[in-house]
Structure 1
Amino acid sequence: MSAVRLLVLGVVRQQQPTHGYAVRRELLSWRAETWTNVKPGSIYHALKQLAAEGKLATVGTENSAEGPGRTLYEMTEAGEAEFRRLMDGALVSIDMEELGAAIAFMDALPRDHLVAKLREQQRNSAETRDGLLAMIPDFPGRHEPPHATDLLELWSGVFANLTGWTAGLIERLEAGEYRTTD
């Protein structure tokens, strides 16, 4: 799953009709380049690819004083379905870039659905943490460097933190914090 694809769909969904420069400007205002691999070229590529797939529709051109007209995009029904599918996948992912993209748009989902997906994500991160910790007694083996145990401890700590952070987010959502679609 591409976090860039989810980010582009999410911004178009919020601002439609909109153009690539506006999507880029919005993501820059979130400082998304610090927590994702989003680059200007990847934004424009995603827009063109999503339009070719029928997930976005081109609905006109906006004049620009700085150059050629800007193509305006809107979500299609297929784009909305893709956005929901990507959100569900990213919310249960232990990939920080994907999860971050989904958290950025979590207000697009009903609270109960969001909490259920985050509970699944919490289980995934706890299982990953536990799996890493279970490997430690066998490290280092014959082929691993002696500091492999330190890497396992580092990553298990990251996933322990993710598990705890997710628990806090679930608590805040269940307490009614944050706006959701319901």
Structure 2
Amino acid sequence: MSAVRLLVLGVIRKKQSAHGYAVRSELLSWRAETWTNVKPGSIYHALKQLTAEGKLSTYGTESSDKGPGRTLFALTEAGESEFRALMDAALVSVDMEELGAGIAFMDALPRAHVIEKLREQRRNSAAIRDELLAMIPSFPGRYESPHATDLLELWSGVFDNLSGWTGSVLARLEAGEYRMSD
């Protein structure tokens, strides 16, 4: 899954239509470059690719005093379906960039659906943590190959933290915090 695709579709969906510079400006205002690999070139590439795939449509240009007119994009039905599919994949992902993109737009979905997906993501994180911890006894001791055990402990800690963080978000969702699509 491409977090950039989800971010581009999500911003255009949120704004109902936008040009590339507006998408870029919105993502910069969120400081998305600090938690994703989104770059200006990847935004414009995603716009071109999504349009070629029929996920976005163009419907005119917005004039600009600072240069040529800017092409306006809107989601198509296929784009809405792509957004939903990418959201479902992102919300269960243990990849930080993908999950972050999903969290950024979770308010676009019904509360119960997001809760279901994040419960699945929490189970995935806990399962990975448990698998990593279970490997430790079979690895050489710290003095024979110290990095192997340390790496397993590092990554099991990362997934333990992710599982705990997801639990906190779930508790807030279940308590009725956040405005959701329903």
With structure 1 as the length reference, what TM-score do the two structures score?
Answer: 0.96
Match of 2:22 in 1: 22
**In structure 2, how many angstroms separate the alpha carbons of the residues matched to 1:63 and 1:174?**
45
Q: C-alpha displacement at 1:137, in angstroms?
A: 1.0
With structure 2 as the length reference, what TM-score do the two structures score?
Answer: 0.96
**In structure 2, how many angstroms separate the alpha carbons of the residues matched to 1:44 and 1:146?**
45
- The 5 A counterparts of 1:10-159 are 10-140=10-140, 145-159=145-159
User: Tell me, which stretches of 5 or more residues in structure 1 are unaligned?
Assistant: none
**In structure 2, how many angstroms separate the alpha carbons of the residues matched to 1:24 and 1:90?**
20
SS class of match (2:18): coil
* Matched letter for residue 6 of structure 2: L
User: Sequence identity, in percent?
Assistant: 78
SS class of match (1:147): helix
Q: Deviations over 1:68-93 (max 9, x none)?
A: 11110000000000000000001000
Q: Deviations over 1:35-87 (max 9, x none)?
A: 00000000000001000000000010111112111110000000000000000
CA-atom RMSD in angstroms:
1.2
Q: Is the 8 A contact 1:17 1:59 kept in 2?
A: no
SS class of match (2:57): strand
Match of 1:164 in 2: 164
Which structure 1 residue ranges, 4+ long, deviate > 6 Å from structure 2? none
User: Tell me, which stretches of 5 or more residues in structure 2 are unaligned?
Assistant: none
Q: Is the 8 A contact 1:55 1:75 kept in 2?
A: yes
**In structure 2, how many angstroms separate the alpha carbons of the residues matched to 1:34 and 1:145?**
34
Q: Is the 8 A contact 1:133 1:152 kept in 2?
A: yes
How many residues are aligned here?
Answer: 180
**In structure 2, how many angstroms separate the alpha carbons of the residues matched to 1:81 and 1:118?**
20
Q: Deviations over 1:115-142 (max 9, x none)?
A: 000000000000010011111112238x
Bigger mean CA offset, 15-24 vs 132-141: 132-141
Match of 2:3 in 1: 3
**In structure 1, how many angstroms separate the alpha carbons of the residues matched to 2:77 and 2:10?**
14
SS class of match (2:13): helix
Q: C-alpha displacement at 1:145, in angstroms?
A: 4.4
